[in-house]
Amino acid sequence: MSFDYSLIGKRIKQAREEQGITQEKLAERLDVSNAYISKIERGKTPINLDRLSQLCLVLEESPEYILSGTNKLSNDYLRNEIIEMLEDCPPEKIKLIMQIIKPIIDYEPPKG
């Protein structure tokens, strides 16, 4: 299984901001540099499991949410994951994605 570190970074940043914690304060709590936190949030460097565990404790977030966007409390996690992936897509990719998913959404299986 491969991970999209830019999405992981976005989730970390969002969780950090929801807790009202600055990058500096998070770096201090994890005993790492501000640059390291910045690189993780931008998806430029992967995070190891030990550091992920520490980070999740500080941010009060589950590792499964940080890694995959899933949240056991939410039945709508896939919708949120799709929305996150679309945020950075250029308009031409959005058009292509629309052409692919519209027939799937409009499809109604035969009855009977």
Query: What is the end-to-end Cα distance of the chain in Å, rounded?
Result: 39
Report the distance separating Cα 42 and Cα 82, nearest Å: 18
User: 65 pLDDT band (50/70/90 cuts)?
Assistant: confident
User: 109 pLDDT band (50/70/90 cuts)?
Assistant: confident
In a domain, 56, yes or no: yes
The residue segments making up the domain with residue 100 are 5-106
Cβ–Cβ < 8 Å for 9, 37 = no
In tens, the pLDDT along 34-49 reads: 999 999 999 999 999 9
Q: Count of domains in the chain? A: 1
CATH assignment of the domain containing 14: 1.10.260.40
What pTM does this model have?
A: 0.64
